[in-house]
Amino acid sequence: MLELILNYTLAFIMWLVIARAIMSLFTTDMNNFIYAMLYKSTEPLYRVARNVFPKGTTFFILIIIIILRIIIIKLL
């Protein structure tokens, strides 16, 4: 049960990061409701990632999430 909850939570976060990356190609206007929602929901993750990887990008965040999902599936 815990495995499923963690896996689905990480999958949801992964899709939010992917959606933010795609939206940032088109707009970074905070008046856009969808972009503002994605920004506010993923910015804490980006802030932590920037502290760990100063030159980190969305790619690093996605790699970390995928690795965590694999570890959770294999260990739990």
Q: Determine the Cα–Cα distance for residues 23 and 54; give it in Å rounded to an integer.
A: 22
Domain borders along the chain are 2-75
Residue type, 36: A
> pLDDT digit string (tens) for 15-55?
999 999 899 899 889 999 999 999 999 999 888 888 888 87
Question: 25 with 37: CB under 8 angstroms?
Answer: no
> pLDDT digit string (tens) for 58-69?
888 888 888 888
- Position 40 scores a pLDDT of 95
